[in-house]
Amino acid sequence: MQSTAARLGVLAAVIAVGVVLFIVFRGGGDGGDESPHIITTATGTSPQAVGVEQIAVKNGEPVGGVKSLTFDKGDQVEISVTLDRPAQSVHVHGYEIIEPAANSPVRLSFPADIDGIFEIEVHNTDGTDTEIGELRVNP
The CA distance from 105 to 32, in Å, is 10
Calculate the average pLDDT of the chain: 79
Distance between CA atoms of 4 and 90, rounded to whole angstroms? 51
Q: Which residues of 105-121 are buried (b: 16+ CB within 10 A; e: fewer)?
A: bbbbbbbbbeeeebebb
* pLDDT at position 6: 63
Q: Tell me which of 5-9, 31-35, 45-49, 116-120 is least confident.
A: 31-35
pLDDT for 15 beyond 80? no
Q: What pLDDT, in 10s, does the model give residues 64-112?
A: 999 999 999 999 999 999 999 999 999 999 999 999 999 999 999 999 9
Rama region for 7: left / alpha / beta (φ>0; ψ in -120 to 50; rest): alpha
**Vertex 100: Cα angle to 103 and 85 (nearest 5):** 40
Query: pTM value?
Result: 0.64
Label residue 32 exposed, middle or buried (CB < 10 Å: 0-12, 13-18, 19+): exposed
What dotted CATH number matches 3-138? Answer: 2.60.40.420
Quote the pLDDT of residue 38: 37
115: which DSSP letter?
-
